[in-house]
A and B are shown apart, each in its own frame.
Chain A
Amino acid sequence: EVQLVESGGGLVQPGGSLRLSCEVSGFTVSSGFTVSSNYMSWVRQAPGKGLEWVSVIYVGGSTYYADSVKGRFSISRDNSKNTLYLQMDSLRAEDTAIYYCARVTTYNYFDTWGQGTLVTVSS
Chain B
Amino acid sequence: SYGLTQPLSVSVALGQTARITCGGNNIGSKSVHWYQQKPGQAPVLVIYRDSNRPSGIPERFSGSNSGNTATLTISRPQAGDEADYYCQVWDSSTSPVFGGGTKLTVL
Taking Cβ atoms with an 8 Å cutoff, the residues of A that contact B are: 41, 43, 50-53, 56, 64, 66, 100, 104-105, 107-111, 113-116
Contact = CB atoms under 8 A, between A and B. Distances in A.
Contacts of A51: 35, 37, 43, 86, 88, 98, 101
A41 B96 contact: yes
30 contacts: A50-B98, A51-B43, A51-B88, A51-B101, A52-B98, A53-B95, A53-B96, A53-B97, A64-B94, A100-B43, A104-B96, A107-B31, A107-B48, A107-B49, A108-B31, A108-B33, A108-B90, A108-B96, A109-B31, A109-B33, A109-B88, A110-B33, A110-B43, A110-B88, A111-B45, A111-B48, A111-B54, A113-B42, A113-B44, A115-B42
Interface in B1-19: none
B91 to A, nearest CB: 10
Interface of B: 31, 33, 35, 37, 42-45, 48-49, 54, 84, 86, 88-90, 94-101
A18 to B, nearest CB: 20
Contacts of A53: 95-98
